[in-house]
Amino acid sequence: MANPARSVVIIDDDTVDQMMYRRVISRSGLFEDVTTFTMAAEALEYFKQHPGAHVDLILLDINMPRMNGFEFLEAARASIDGGIGNPVVVMLTTSLDPRDLKRAEQFTEIQQYVPKPLTQETLSDVVAELESPLQAAPGGKAGDPGDGASAKVIPFPGTSEPKA
């Protein structure tokens, strides 16, 4: 498989989760650059200071102190010209609260809403999103067919239905 992605940003306050994600990403061999932030506000500042930075994938935790994943996306929309660009955004969660899923569906930036931890299988699904023709199309977004489709929900382990 060609190397479709170059850059991934991880925004998660749990350093153990970050370590696991870095290991999954490293083993995949699909990404060259991994940038991590333990605070969403730090990531927001990074995007403000690097408005043209090319990021293929953002792995975004929902529940973080001071600024959660949703607040990060809202702040990016409001304070960065062009927002965060066009990366595939994967919302990672341990939340079983259906309100979080409904809220995630409100964000066109979020292509997938998945349970923690990130697995090789989930990463492979994400890479498939990156390889989709819509990702490369001008003005297109991966996973955004333009028909108002919401985030793809991956079922929690041991279930057949999403429980987000």
Q: Quick one: average pLDDT of 4-27?
A: 91
Per-chain mean pLDDT for the chain: 80
Q: Is pLDDT at 163 greater than 60 in this prediction? A: no
pTM for this predicted structure: 0.79
Q: Is pLDDT at 148 greater than 50 in this prediction? A: no
Instruction: Give the residue, 24 or 140, on which the prediction is more confident.
Output: 24
Q: Which residue stretches of the chain are H helix?
A: 15-28, 40-49, 69-79, 98-104, 120-131, 133-136
Q: Which CATH architecture has domain 7-153?
A: 3-Layer(aba) Sandwich (3.40)
Neighbour tally for 70: CB within 10 Å: 19
